[in-house]
Amino acid sequence: MEAVKFYNSLGRRLEKLEPLEPGHVRLYTCGPTVYDRVHIGNLRTFVFEDVLRRTLRFFGYRVTQAMNLTDVEDKIIAAALEAGVDIGAFTAPHVSSFFEDLAALRIERVEHYPRATCHIDEMIAMVEQLLEEGYAYRADDSVFFRIAADEDYGKLSGIDLDQVRRGERVQSDEYGKEDARDFVLWKGAKEGEPQWASPWGPGRPGWHIECSAMSQKYLGTTFDIHCGGVDNLFPHHENEIAQSESANGSPLARYWLHSEHLTVDGDKMSKSLGNCYTLADLETRGLAARSIRYLLISVHYRQQLDFTFAKVAEADRALKRVDDMRFRLAHETEQASDKAPLEEVVTGFEGAFAAALADDLNTSAALGAVFRFVHDVNGMIDRGLPSGARERVEGLLQRADQVLAVLDASAWNGDSGSAPDEELGGLSDAEIERLVQSRSAARAARDFAAADRIRDELVAAGVVVEDAPGGSRWKRS
Given the rule CB under 6 A, which residues bind ligand AMP? 30, 32-33, 41-42, 44-45, 228-229, 231-232, 261-262, 268-270
Q: Which residues contact residue 446 at a Cβ distance below 8 angstroms, ignoring those fewer than 6 apart? A: none
By C-beta, is 105 or 241 nearer to Zn ion? 241
By C-beta, is 120 or 269 nearer to ligand AMP? 269
∠415-421-423 over CA atoms, to 5°? Answer: 95
Does position 436 interact with Zn ion (CB under 5 A)? The reply is no
211 binds, among Zn ion, ligand AMP, none (CB under 5 to 8 A by kind): Zn ion
Q: How far is the CB of 271 from ligand AMP (least distance, A)?
A: 8
Q: How far apart are CA 31 and CA 218, in angstroms?
A: 14
By C-beta, is 102 or 354 nearer to ligand AMP? 102
Q: How far is the CB of 189 from Zn ion (least distance, A)?
A: 23
Q: How far is the CB of 67 from ligand AMP (least distance, A)?
A: 9
Stretch that binds Zn ion, among 26-34, 92-100, 305-313, 439-447 (CB under 5 A): 26-34
By C-beta, is 91 or 198 nearer to ligand AMP? 91
Q: How far is the CB of 183 from Zn ion (least distance, A)?
A: 13
Stretch that binds Zn ion, among 6-14, 100-108, 137-145, 210-218 (CB under 5 A): 210-218
Q: Given phi > 0 = left and psi -120 to 50 = alpha, else beta, which region is 234?
A: beta
By C-beta, is 261 or 390 nearer to ligand AMP? 261
CB 260 within 8 A of CB 364: no
CB 34 within 8 A of CB 94: yes
Q: Given phi > 0 = left and psi -120 to 50 = alpha, else beta, which region is 201?
A: left
Does position 30 interact with Zn ion (CB under 5 A)? The reply is yes
270 binds, among ligand AMP, Zn ion, none (CB under 5 to 8 A by kind): ligand AMP
Q: How far is the CB of 229 from ligand AMP (least distance, A)?
A: 2
Q: How far is the CB of 7 from Zn ion (least distance, A)?
A: 19
By C-beta, is 42 or 363 nearer to ligand AMP? 42
268 binds, among Zn ion, ligand AMP, none (CB under 5 to 8 A by kind): ligand AMP
By C-beta, is 106 or 208 nearer to ligand AMP? 208
Q: How far is the CB of 28 from ligand AMP (least distance, A)?
A: 11
Q: How far is the CB of 335 from ligand AMP (least distance, A)?
A: 49
By C-beta, is 230 or 441 nearer to ligand AMP? 230
Number of residues that bind Zn ion (CB under 5 A): 2
114 binds, among ligand AMP, Zn ion, none (CB under 5 to 8 A by kind): none
Stretch that binds Zn ion, among 22-30, 189-197, 273-281, 291-299 (CB under 5 A): 22-30
Q: How far apart are CA 117 and CA 214, in angstroms?
A: 11
Binds Zn ion (CB under 5 A): choice among 127, 143, 211, 241: 211
CB 411 within 8 A of CB 405: yes
Q: How far is the CB of 40 from ligand AMP (least distance, A)?
A: 8
What type of residue is 401? Answer: D
Q: How far is the CB of 406 from Zn ion (least distance, A)?
A: 28
**Residue closest to ligand AMP, measured at CB:** 229
By C-beta, is 266 or 471 nearer to ligand AMP? 266
Stretch that binds Zn ion, among 30-38, 308-316, 358-366, 428-436 (CB under 5 A): 30-38
Q: How far is the CB of 231 from Zn ion (least distance, A)?
A: 11
138 binds, among Zn ion, ligand AMP, none (CB under 5 to 8 A by kind): none
SS (H, E, C) the chain: CCCCEEEECCCCEEEECCCCECCEEEEEECCCECCCCCCHHHHHHHHHHHHHHHHHHHCCCEEEEEECEECCCHHHHHHHHHHCCCHHHHHHHHHHHHHHHHHHCCCCCCCECCEHHHCHHHHHHHHHHHHHCCCEEEECCEEEECHHHCCCCCCCCCCCHHHHHHHCHHHHHHHCCCCCCCEEEEEECCCCCCCECCCCCCEEECHHHHHHHHHHHHHCCCEEEEEEEHHHHHHHHHHHHHHHHHHHCCCCEEEEEEECCEEECCEECCHHHCCCCCHHHHHHCCCCHHHHHHHHHCCCCCCCEECCHHHHHHHHHHHHHHHHHHHHHHHCCEEECCCHHHHHHHHHHHHHHHHHHHECCCHHHHHHHHHHHHHHHHHHHHHCEECCHHHHHHHHHHHHHHHHCCCCHHHCCCCCCCCCCHHHCCCCHHHHHHHHHHHHHHHHCCCHHHHHHHHHHHHHCCEEEEEECCEEEEEEC
231 binds, among Zn ion, ligand AMP, none (CB under 5 to 8 A by kind): ligand AMP
41 binds, among Zn ion, ligand AMP, none (CB under 5 to 8 A by kind): ligand AMP
- Residues in touch with Zn ion (CB under 5 A): 30, 211
